[in-house]
Amino acid sequence: MVNVFLRHESKILSEFLMVVPTSPNLPNMLFAKTIPVESALNSLILNISIKKPTLLVGETGAGKTALVQYLCSNSEHFFGYKVSLKIINMSMDFDGFDLIGGYHSIDLDQKIKEMYTKIQLEIPRSLNRRNILEQLLLKLTTGLSSKFDIDTNISNTTTSNCIQSMINEVKLYLSILDKKLPFYFRDGALTQAMKNGTWVLLDEINLSSDETLNLIEAILSKDEMILYESGDFTPIKIHPNFMIFACMNPHGDFGKKKYDSSVFSKIVFYDFSFSLKVH
């Protein structure tokens, strides 16, 4: 699907381009609702509804990112759920390791120190790392929540989420000790978004290497993903709210290659104001 969004800068053109009043169907708009804007938004809404990745092509300042941000901010109105947007600035240096994930080294002693500092407790000096972590896990799963509420003065929901996050962290460190390797597998930005139902916008996607572009295409062409590198062969369950968008300037500028995708539905932002002659 290829659509055209017309960005106008010409005073003459703006007099002829019809601007329609904002309707309840497009609430909270901070830019003029022209027919091309409405057309582009409707195309984006359709693609999101059918879970179709969308590539937005246009010059800098044409409004590519702004439209995605608008729909994200009003996602509950349009799609019935709230969602966050993660913008990733692509480049030749951004690779599959950043997108999918990979192994990272870890300093367990430093991590243990940080966790004990966070909960304002002294580290037991007479215990080894395993016993320290097991004792911390016991505190987190039993009597620490009430103390944490008092010390941090935060809501019960936030406290519960924070403690659960720390419990998961301690379990991760215990598993690292079991494997006797100071490394752990950390999900990349795209993997995290697929699991959590986040929207992702890959900005300047055509600055990426061919290998990264091929990887993105391969991932989006599948209904599920298995991270063999992590050692877990269980297919990743993709959250139903997950969506991916990409933005790019027209190819031809320095480092910006032509990118014809077989996976993304394309919306072209065409700026024709420079070709107008003012008499």
Domains of the chain: 2-101+187-275 (3.40.50.300), 107-181 (no CATH)
Q: Say if residue 56's pLDDT is above 90.
A: yes
Sorted by sequence, the CB contacts under 8 Å of residue 75 that are 6+ apart come out as 81, 82, 83
Report the pLDDT value the prediction gives residue 51, as an integer from 0 to 100: 92
CA distance 56 to 18: 23
> Model-level pTM?
0.67
pLDDT band for position 150 (cuts 50, 70, 90)? very low
Higher-scoring residue by pLDDT: 159, 84 = 84
pLDDT band for position 46 (cuts 50, 70, 90)? very high
Helix axes 156-179, 108-118, angle to 10 degrees: 160
Please report which residue ranges of 153-271 form alpha helices under DSSP H.
Answer: 156-179, 189-196, 210-220
pLDDT band for position 1 (cuts 50, 70, 90)? very low
- Length of the chain, please? 279
